[in-house]
Structure 1
Amino acid sequence: MPSSLSFRASLALSLPSTTPGSWNSGNGILRRVLMSVLTINEDTGKKLLYYLVLSEGNPSKDPLVLWLNGGPGCSSFDGFVYEHGPFDFEKTKQRLPKLHLNPYSWSKVSSVLYVDSPAGVGLSYANDISEYVTGDLKTATDSHDFVLKWFELYPEFLSNPFFIAGESYAGVYVPTLANEVAKGIDTGVKPVINLKGYMVGNGVTDKALMAMHLFRLPMGWALSQMNCIRRRTKLQEVDRQVKGLNIYDILEPCYHDSAAKDATDNKIRLPSSFLELGGTERPLPVRTRMFGRAWPLRANVREGIVPTWPELLSSLTVPCTDDEVATEWLNNEAVREAINAKPKNVAGDWELCTDRIKFHHDAGSMMKYHRNLTLKGYRALIFSGDHDMCVPFTGSEAWTRAMGYKIFDKWRPWISNGEVAGYTQGYENNLTFLTIKGAGHTVSEYKPKEALNFYSRFLAGKAIFNN
C-alpha cells in the first residue's frame, strides 16, 4: 500500500468499535477503506462522494476499478452494501447491522472506487440545485472531471491498470465515461490515465435491441412455464401474464432465504429444481426483498426524460422493494460522520434511488461508444445474469452480435468451482459476452463466487472459460 495513501486512509476512516454497526473481525480492513467527497465544481458546490476500497493483494500494482450503479438516480452504495463490497451486513434486532467480512469482495483482487453519480444521487450533492437537472452527456463529463481530480489527489494510482464498471443504467454511464477518458488520453489531457477496459452488467444499451418487450418474451415463456401466448397477442397481455414474476430474477420470489420458498405466489408454478437454480451463496440474507436498481421496466431508453423509480411509484408498482439495511446504516449520523459523508441537513437523506434529479437520455445508442472503445483496443466485458427479465441476456447477446465483429471464441461454457457457471462468446477487438447461470439483474448479489471468478480472470487478461 502506498505510504501516503495508507496515512490518509487511516485518518479518513477508522471506524471504531463504538461506531453504530459493530464490526466483528477487527479493524484491519477498515484501514483499507477511504471515503470522502470531492468538489468538481467550485461555483455550484457540486460534490461527488467516493469510497475507495484498497486491494487486499498489492494496492500499488493491482487494478483500480471505478464502480457505478445505475437507475438513473441509484446510489453506488448498492454495490458496496449488497453486492461486492468488503462487508456483509447482518440484520440485527437493533436498527443497525453488524459488519462481517465478505469472502467474495471484489477487493480480493483489485482496488474498487465506488462513486455516487451524478450529483443528487446517494450522498453526492450540490449547493445549487440546478445541478440536479442532468443527463447522459453531462454525467459523463462530470464523472470524467471527477476521475481527473481524483487521480490528481492520488497520483500513486496513475500507473495501476484502470477499469470502469457498472450495471443496469450504468450500461450508459460506463461507455460514455470510458469514451471521455479515452478522448482525454488521445488529446493529452493530464493526468494521463492508464485505462485498460470496462465492464457492463445487464446494461441498457440500445432502444431497438434492449428496450423492446419482445426480448422479454422468450424468458417469460421458457422459464416461467406459462401458457403459450399466440404471436398476435398484444404486448399488454404479455405484461399482464408476467406481472406476478420477479423481473429481476424470473425464477425467484422476492427473497433469498430458504423460508421464502413457502411464500412464493401460488400463481407462479415453478418446479422446485427451478427454484434451486436461483439459489445464492450469499452468506447473509441482507436484502429480504430487492429494490430495482434497474432502469424502470416500462421506461424505454429513448431521447428525453428518463423517469426515476420514485417518479413511477404513483403509476407503476415497483416489485420487490426493500433497502432497509443500507437506509438505516447510511442515515445514522454517527455512521455518516465516520465515513466522511455530510450530515442530512447538508446532503439530505440517503435513498437507494432518488427522485431528486431530473435525468435526460441524450447520448443515443451505446453501440457507437462500444465500437469506438473496442476499436481503440480497450477490453470490454458484457456480462449478464441469465434470469433477469428487466434487461434480459437475450438483448445483450443480440447487440454484441450486432456489432458485426468476427467471432473469436465460439459459444462455450465457462467453469467456476468445477461447475458450468454460464456461457461466453468472444469477438474480435477484445469484446466478450458472458452469461451467469442462475443470476438475476445484480449478478454478484446472486452469484458472488462466480462473479469474483469472472471478474478476476477478466482483470488479469485471462480467457474467462479457463478455470
Structure 2
Amino acid sequence: MNMMVPPPSHSSLYYCFQILLALVLFSLQMLTHQLEASSSKVEVLPGFEGPLPFQLETGYVGLGETDDDMQVFYYFIKSENDPKKDPLMLWLTGGPGCSSFSGLVFQIGPVEFEIKEYNGSVPSLVLRPQSWTKLCSIIFVDLPLGTGFSYAKNLTAHRSDWKLVHHTHQFLRKWLIDHPEFLSNEFYFGADSYSGIPVPAIVQEISNGNEEGLQPSINLQGYLLGNPITTRREKNDQIPYAHGMGLISDELYKSLQKNCKEEYIDVDSRNELCLRDLEYFDECLSGINHFYILDSYCESDSPLWRRSLTHELKKSSSSHLTDTVPELSCRIYSSYLGRKWINNERVRKALHIREGTIGKWVRCYKTDFEYEISDSVEFHANLSKKGYRSLIYSGDHDILVPFMSTQAWIRALNYSIVDDWRLWFANGQVGGYTRTYSNRMTFATVKGSGHMAPEYTPEQCFSMFTKWISNLPL
C-alpha cells in the first residue's frame, strides 16, 4: 500500500535550520577558543632519553580580534618543587626579537644541548642541574610577534617597544585566565639584555592594570634583569671599561677622552682625531668576544664597535642565525644545535606547533622593529615608589653592557644604601659583589661572567636566584 509522505511544514524546516545553525555556531565557538588559547602537555622530547622528569606545556594565546590575527607561542614549565606555592615567573629574552627558547635551553631552563658534533640526527638534550624551575614555575614566551613560533597576519604593524609592552601584558592576563590555579602565586618578571628597555614598562603596566581593577588581578611582587640595556648610552661606558680591564693602553684611553670629550656615540664626522682613536680602539678589540671577554673569539662574534648598542646586539644576534657551522669549541655551537633541533619535524610535532604557521624557525627575528622607548630609568623610578622588589645583576666580563653603566643609573635613582658593598657567595666561593638600596633594589655583579650570565656561570647564578626569590639576602 503506497503512503503519501506529507512535505515538511515551514515550522519544521525553520526548526531544523535553527538546530543546524546552532551546531555550526557551537563548532565555530569551539574552534575560536582552541585558536585563542590552546595548550598541550609535552611528556617526551626528541633527543631526550626517556620521559621528561618535569612538567612541560606548550601552547598559543590569541591577542587579536580574529582567530589568527596574533598568536603568541609559549613554553611553560611547572616548578619542580611545589608549583602550588612557588612563585610564577614570565621570562622575556632580549634582542629585541629573540625567542625565549634561548632562556629555556641556553640559560635557566631544565634542559640544555649536549655539545657534540652534529651528525644529522636529532641533537641530544641533557638535564641542567641549575635550572631555575627547581623553585619557580616559568613561562618562556615568544614575543615580540614574529619571534620563535609566534605569528601574526601583519608582523610590521605589531613590532615596536610599546606594542611589545601591551602584548606581553595582555598575554599574561589571558594566560592566567586559562591557568587560574596560579592566580594566587607570587608573580615576578624576568629578562635580560635588550629587554631591560621594555620590561620595566611592562611591569609598570601590569601594576597600573591591577590598580585599575583589570581582571584577573596579578599577584605582582617584583622583577629581575640581567645585564640590561637601560639608557641606550651604555656605549659611553664601554671604553673606560675596556681600559679598566687592560684591553687598551693608558695613552689611547687618555687620547680618546681628550679628543672625543668622553662622547663615543654621537661623534662629529669632522672630528678626525676622535674617529682615528676610535678606529685604533676597534683594532685593539678586534679579537675579543664582546659578550664575554674571557671566552674564545669565534668568527661569528665579529667586532661591532662605533655603532649604537642596539645595532651591535642586532647584528651580533643575527650573525648566529646563518647556516655556517661554527667550531665545536665555540660557545655558539649550542645555538647551531638548537636550530637543527627545533627545525626537526619530530620536534615540532612534539611541541604541538601548528602546521603551516612558521617556515624555517630562527632564534631572533630582527626586521622592522620600531624603537620607541628612549630609556627605562623613569619606569624603575616609578616601580621603586610602589615598593616592588628588584634584582639587577651584571656579569662583570660583559663589554656590551658594562656593570659600571648599570651602577651609574641605579646610583642616579638616589636611594639610600641599606646593605653596603660586600661579597656574596656561591658554594663557598665568591660569586660576586652586591649592594641593596632602600627601594628594595638589589644590585649584584656575577664574578667572571658575561652578557647572559646564567649561560656562562650557571652555579653562581642559580645560587643568586635561589636566595633572592626566597627573600633572603645574597
The answer as to 2:279 corresponding to 1:236 is yes
Distance verdict in 2 for CA 1:310–1:427, change over 3 Å: closer
Deviation, 1:186, is: 1.1
> Which residue of 367, 374, 377 maps to 1:364?
374
> Which residue of 423, 436, 439 maps to 1:429?
439
**Higher radius of gyration, 1 or 2:** 2
Q: Counterparts of 1:310 and 1:225 in 2: how far apart (Å)?
A: 20
- 1:423 match: secondary structure: strand
Match of 2:182 in 1: 157
- 2:357 match: secondary structure: helix
Q: Counterparts of 2:141 and 2:300 in 1: how far apart (Å)?
A: 21
The answer as to 2:353 corresponding to 1:341 is yes
Q: Counterparts of 2:98 and 2:220 in 1: how far apart (Å)?
A: 25
Q: Counterparts of 2:40 and 2:363 in 1: how far apart (Å)?
A: 27
> Which residue of 120, 124, 137 maps to 2:150?
124
Q: Give deviations 1:50-104, integer Å, cap 9, x for gaps.
A: 1011101000110011101111121111111111111121145343222221100
> Which residue of 57, 67, 80 maps to 1:34?
57
Instruction: Describe how 1:144-293 pairs up with structure 2 within 5 A.
Output: 144-208=169-233, 210-212=234-236, 215-228=237-250, 229-233=252-256, 234=274, 235-254=278-297
Amino acid at match of 1:159: S
Instruction: Describe how 1:12-161 pairs up with structure 2 within 5 A.
Output: 12-15=41-44, 20-21=46-47, 23-24=48-49, 26-30=50-54, 32-43=55-66, 45-90=69-114, 91=116, 93-132=119-158, 134-161=159-186
Match of 1:381 in 2: 391
Distance verdict in 2 for CA 1:422–1:194, change over 3 Å: same
Q: Give deviations 1:225-284, integer Å, cap 9, x for gaps.
A: 5433142233333223212111011122147xxxxxxxxxxxxxxxxxxxxxxxxxxxxx
Match of 1:264 in 2: none
- 2:293 match: secondary structure: coil
Point out which structure has higher relative CO (alpha carbons under 8 A, 6+ apart).
1
Deviation, 1:127, is: 2.3
Q: Percent identity?
A: 35
Aligned residues: 404
Amino acid at match of 1:109: L
- Contact in 2 for aligned 1:172/1:203 (Cα 8 Å): yes
Q: Give deviations 1:9-62, integer Å, cap 9, x for gaps.
A: 9952122xxx532x23x31425x0001111111336211111011101000110
Q: Counterparts of 2:312 and 2:73 in 1: how far apart (Å)?
A: 23
Q: Counterparts of 1:407 and 1:327 in 2: how far apart (Å)?
A: 45
- Contact in 2 for aligned 1:168/1:204 (Cα 8 Å): yes
Q: Normalized against structure 2, the TM-score is what?
A: 0.79
Q: Give deviations 1:273-305, integer Å, cap 9, x for gaps.
A: xxxxxxxxxxxxxxxx9879x9x7655368xx9
Deviation, 1:320, is: 7.6
Distance verdict in 2 for CA 1:139–1:222, change over 3 Å: same
Match of 1:263 in 2: none
User: What is the root-mean-square deviation of aligned Cα atoms in Å?
Assistant: 2.7
Deviation, 1:321, is: 5.5
Q: Counterparts of 1:359 and 1:306 in 2: how far apart (Å)?
A: 15
Distance verdict in 2 for CA 1:205–1:188, change over 3 Å: same
Q: Give deviations 1:364-413, integer Å, cap 9, x for gaps.
A: 22110001111101101110000000111111111111111111111111
Q: Counterparts of 1:9 and 1:28 in 2: how far apart (Å)?
A: 21
Q: Normalized against structure 1, the TM-score is what?
A: 0.81
Q: Give deviations 1:333-380, integer Å, cap 9, x for gaps.
A: 21111112234x31232112223x311221222110001111101101
The answer as to 2:312 corresponding to 1:300 is no
After the TM superposition, list the runs of 4 or more consecutive aligned residues in structure 1 that deviate by more than 4 angstroms.
Answer: 8-11, 289-292, 296-299, 310-313, 318-322
- Contact in 2 for aligned 1:223/1:251 (Cα 8 Å): no
Deviation, 1:444, is: 0.5
- Contact in 2 for aligned 1:35/1:51 (Cα 8 Å): yes
- Contact in 2 for aligned 1:37/1:340 (Cα 8 Å): no
- 1:341 match: secondary structure: coil
Unpaired stretches in structure 1, ≥5 consecutive residues: 1-7, 256-288
Unpaired stretches in structure 2, ≥5 consecutive residues: 1-36, 257-273, 320-325
Amino acid at match of 1:86: P
- Greater helix fraction, Structure 1 or Structure 2: 2
Q: Give deviations 1:146-194, integer Å, cap 9, x for gaps.
A: 0010000001001001000111001113211111101101111100000
Match of 2:428 in 1: 418
Amino acid at match of 1:218: P
